[in-house]
Structures are given as C-alpha cells and as structure tokens.
Amino acid sequence: MSSDGLIGAVEAGGTKFVLALATQAGEVLARTRMPTNSPVETWPAMQAFFTQASAEHGPIAAFGVASFGPIDIDPASPAYGTFTTTPKPGWSGARFHEALGGFGAPIMVDTDVNGAAIGEWMEGAGQGCRTLAYTTIGTGIGTGVVHNGRSLMGISHFESGHIVPPRDAVRDPFPGICPYHGDCLEGLACGPAIERRWGKSLDQLGAEEINLIAGYIAHLAATLVLLHMPDRLIFGGGVMKAPGLVEAVRRETASRLNGYVSHPRLDEGLNSYIVTPGLGDDAGITGAIELGRQALATG
Amino acid sequence: MSSDGLIGAVEAGGTKFVLALATQAGEVLARTRMPTNSPVETWPAMQAFFTQASAEHGPIAAFGVASFGPIDIDPASPAYGTFTTTPKPGWSGARFHEALGGFGAPIMVDTDVNGAAIGEWMEGAGQGCRTLAYTTIGTGIGTGVVHNGRSLMGISHFESGHIVPPRDAVRDPFPGICPYHGDCLEGLACGPAIERRWGKSLDQLGAEEINLIAGYIAHLAATLVLLHMPDRLIFGGGVMKAPGLVEAVRRETASRLNGYVSHPRLDEGLNSYIVTPGLGDDAGITGAIELGRQALATG
C-alpha cells in the first residue's frame, strides 16, 4: 500500500453527494456537499471539488465511492461503477470512472448501504466484528454484510429488503407496496409502506404498530443470523428512530430464534447483539474513505 | 503449497465414515468406509486406516475433514474441530485433532454440507461458480455457501434449515416438527416432516404434495438469492429425488422472485440456475480432499 497520497471519498445519495478529501489515516482535510442533479452537472462539480482540494492539500492516491443504485459493484465486470436501470433521470449508464478517471488513481465503488456498513465496522458500532450486518430501514430496506472489513457480494449486491416474512393477514391486512412482491419486507415495513398503511410515520404511532413492524424487521434479523451468522446486527435508517422500536426488534428476534443459536455474542436480551448505528450521518463518508484505502491495497 | 505429500480425507456422517488417501491432484489411492460408532472405536479405526495407507503410499501432508455436527469449524477457535452439543452418544467434546494430530499434518475441518458444496464446486455441478449455494434436503436441511472455493461462515456455520417460510395454514395445517421453531423450513419440509405429515416419503406422493414442499424450498431458494446472490443453487439430499420436485422448485422460485433479480445467470425457467448435484454420493469425499488442499495452502 502506498504510504503517501490522499483519499478522495464520495458518498453518493439520491438527494445529495458528500465529498471529502482525507489522509490515509482518516483525517478529513476538505469536505463539501452538493445536490444530486443529473451527471451532466454533478460530474463536473465533483471533479472541480477534488481538483481544487488536491491542489491545496496534495495528490490523490485513490478514490472510494459509496453510492445509491442500482449500480454495478463487481470489480471484475467491464461495467464496474456504472449505474444500471435506475429510474433517476440521466443516471442510467453513468459511470464514476468517467468522472474520476482523469485523476489516474484506482477507484473502488460499493453501494451506499455497504459503505455505511464498512464505516460502522471501521469506527462505529461494528468495531471488532469479523462479520457485521448493517441494515437500513428507511425509504427502502437494504443490508450490507462486511467480513473482515470487505463487503460481501455474489453476482450482485444483496437485496435483503425483498425477503418475504410470514404474516398474519388478520392482524395486518395491508397488502404491501412493493411493485414486484407486494408484501415483501420492504413492501410492508419501509417508511413509505408505514405512511401508506397508517397515514403517519412510525414515531407518531403506538405500541401495537411498533410491535407489528418490529416483527417484520425481526424476521430479517433472524434470517441474517441463520444465513450469515454475524457477530452483530446494526439497524439504522429513519424508521429505526421510532422510540421503542429497537427494543421490540430485540424481543421479537429472540422469540423467533428461540435459543437455537447459542453463542456468547448473542447475549441475554440481545442488547449488545442488535444495536443502532454509532456514527449516525457520518457512516457513509467514513466507509467511502475506507473503500479508498481498499482501492489502494488492491491496486 | 507443498508439492508432494498425500491428502487424508474424511467424510464423517452420522451413520458412516468414508476415508480416503489421495494425491494432491485428487487421485484416490486408498479408500474405505466404516460405521460411525463412538469415538473410542472410530478414532483408532480411522488412525489405523491412515497409518496403513500411508505406509503403503507415502507420507500424509494434510487432512481435510467434512463432518456431521454440530461442530466448531472456526480455525481461530481453541475448540476448532470439536463436536459441541450433539445428542450422538460419546461425540460431544470429541475432536478430530485428537485422532489425527499424531500424523503432524495440518487439519482443516468443515461441516458435511460445506464439504459437499466444496466438492460440487470442484468437480460437480458448481464448477466455474464464484459463489455457489449447495443445499441438502434430507433428514435435516442445511446450506453451504462457497465463495472462490472457500466456505463462508460467521460466528458459526449457517443454519438455513431454520428460516421460516410464509405459509397457508388452510392449505397446510401441519404444525411442523422442529423442536425449536415448529414450522420453520426444516420443521415443514425435511424428510421426517414429510413422513410425519403424510405417512409416506415424497416420491410416493402426488403433484399437490410436491408443489407444497416445492413452495417451502423455493422460499429458501429466493432468500439465498437475495442474501448471497450465488451464481447457482444446487439442491440435493434424499427428498430432492422425488420426481418433478426440482422442476416445481424452479417454477416456485421464479414466481417468488418475479423478475426482480435480473442477471444472465438467472436464465428463463431457471433450468441452469437451480440444479441437482453432479457428484451424487462422492461430493463429500471430493470436498474433503479439497479441504486438505486448503489446509496445505493455509499451512
């Protein structure tokens, strides 16, 4: 790994980009945010930031990008770093390498949720975990699984929001809002599904609604345990801010596992096993800096 | 990796052990099988086979073990290779290293299903897959996920049999047989659950029963896709031999995914995506030989 040179970090969200220039030790030397317009506007603005910050602080040795999607995150793919079929105008076919390739530095691109997972693993609630699962429950639902600091993927990034929980149609007759699956997890428990079902966000609702949504999230938690056996599960995103929700998710997950998985990591009550994020809004950019380090290590 | 020296391979099943001495290229020089008695009998018999085979063919450079469980498969654990809480008399606390340590060769231990997954990846229906999920549907249900030839694990091996599928209690009022979860996948769809529900094995039943069980297996298939994104899914084990079952699993999985995951690997009809094993009964010992190679490479 090169011992000098700075890291350009990009957290690309659906509404805003956060950009940072940092040392390899993680000290942020320059930082900005800008709205997510079309690439015709966003690419030059991003280039301008890194050009100016680099002129001031020094050359850039690598870029790390944690981005909204869908996006190709397979380093072995010719389309690595390219947005695929996003409905966001202008972004389908846009590629981070077009915008950043001129700096001549290696680029590592991952999803926003994988980036946040890596950030939490580096400096947040996932420190010391060999396997960490970070899930966001917000406008959508997604999970990043990190093993020894690297995000796992197969032919594509994971899509945990679309697993289908068992449900009681008497207790919850709402058919779900997923255009593909109706009542998959995202269709039942993402922020917009909650708004559509009850006309309010979860933090404005009561224990009955909290427990219902907690049960769906706990289905994902138990499934992640059985299929990834993480050291810890982090649940973040806007929906998770509803008071009492994480406690209810712990109870419902313990009930579903019913003692089957016995390991010191799964403490009584799951209080240290299922947690909320440690970094808040900084997880994404922290993860993007680490992706830049990984780009340097990989070459 | 040492270029000479032979590999001792052990496929340890609940009813029989298969032992082989092979070259690093995979040529089997000696092979035997013996019943799974208590370790007091099985360990000396296993030592005797390897001692004699080694005297005849040459020194053993590494051992690979694919074993029934539950067993500690974490190379970083002090109890690596030790059976944990198995109800099988005499086996709790028994450790492969006790029996094989005297040969002075590195030992890699994995689960039986991970071993079969690695075998199928090496020489069977999973060749060429970067990520492969191999599931056995038999007396129990389990999945091994192999990434670049290595099995994935977290704090323990995976336990895919215990995920809970949605179900229609009118269509299937059977409460399931899992002592922990009742109607988890294994509780509903393993061989003994089928026998308990209908008094027959699945190959003696009709299309209605096949389709019901296929739906449960397809829930696992779709969940594996969403949480591991494998290049291919292999389904083996006694239950999968029921005529028409794999075809029904393909149909039910396609119906559940509903086009959400778009990738060339997921062909129309999933005929090349969801397949049965290529090696049959030899997957386990083939995987154990590869585990021995991995022990050599790891040192």
- Residues A54-77: pLDDT tens digits? 999 999 999 999 999 889 999 999
What is the total residue count of chain A? 299
**CA of A263: how far to CAs of A200, A247, B101, B145, in Å?**
39, 20, 27, 21
Distance CA A140, CA A190 (A): 5
Min Cα distance B200 → chain A (Å) is 27
Amino acid B299: pLDDT? 66
Coil/strand/helix, residue B222? helix
| Nearest-angstrom CA–CA distance, A183 and A202 | 18
Helical segments of chain B, H only: 39-57, 96-100, 112-123, 185-189, 191-198, 207-228, 245-257, 283-298
Among residues A62, A50, A43, A57, which one has the least CA distance to residue A108?
A62
Torsion angle of C-alpha atoms B137, B184, A163, A230, degrees rounded to 10: -90
E strands in chain A:
6-12, 16-22, 28-35, 60-67, 107-111, 131-137, 141-147, 150-151, 232-236, 274-275
Taking the C-alpha atoms of residue B75 and residue B288, their distance in angstroms, rounded to an integer, is: 16
Give the closest of B154, B229, B259 to A230, CB-based.
Answer: B154
**Could you say which residues of chain A have pLDDT below 50?**
1-2
- Which residues of B touch chain A, with CB atoms under 8 Å apart? 85, 130-131, 143, 147, 152-160, 162-167, 180-181, 219, 222-224, 226-231, 256, 258-263, 265
Interface test with B, best of A71, A111, A226, A265 (most B CBs within 10 A): A226
pTM for the model: 0.96
Beta strands at B107-111 and B60-67: parallel, antiparallel or unpaired? parallel
Identify the sign of the CA torsion A175, A181, A185, A190: negative
pLDDT number for residue B284: 95
What gap in Å lies between CA B210 and CA A238, rounded to an integer?
42
Instruction: Tell me the pLDDT tens digit for each residue of A149-191.
Output: 999 999 999 999 999 999 999 999 999 999 999 999 999 999 9
Q: Is B35 helix (H, G, I), strand (E, B) or coil?
A: strand
Q: Cβ atoms within 10 A of the Cβ of A42, count?
A: 19
Spatial separation of the C-alpha atoms in residues A119 and A149, rounded to whole Å: 9
- Encoded tokens for B125: 């229906």
Q: Could you tell me if the ipTM is greater than 0.90? A: yes
What would the two tokens of residue B244 be? 């028409």
pLDDT means per 10 residues, chain B with 299 residues, are: 80 95 97 96 97 97 96 94 88 96 97 98 98 97 97 97 96 97 97 98 98 98 98 97 98 97 94 96 95 91
CB contact under 8 A, A259 and B224: no
- Which distant-in-sequence residues (6+ apart) come within 8 Å of A62 by Cβ? A5, A7, A8, A105, A106, A107, A108, A292, A293, A295, A296
Residue B91's φ and ψ, nearest 5 degrees, are -90, -25
Q: Is B269 left (phi over 0), alpha (psi -120 to 50) or beta?
A: left
Task: Please give the DSSP secondary-structure letter assigned to residue A209.
Answer: H
Q: Rounded to an integer, what distance in angstroms lies between the CA atom of residue A39 and that of residue A71?
A: 14
Nearest to B167 among A85, A166, A222 (CB): A166
Residue type, B213: I
Q: Could B228 and A154 be called an inter-chain contact, meaning their C-beta atoms sit closer than 8 Å?
A: yes
Chains A and B: how many Cβ contacts under 8 Å?
Answer: 112
Q: Would you call B164 and A259 a contact, using CB atoms and an 8 Å cutoff?
A: no
3-state SS assignment for residue A229: coil
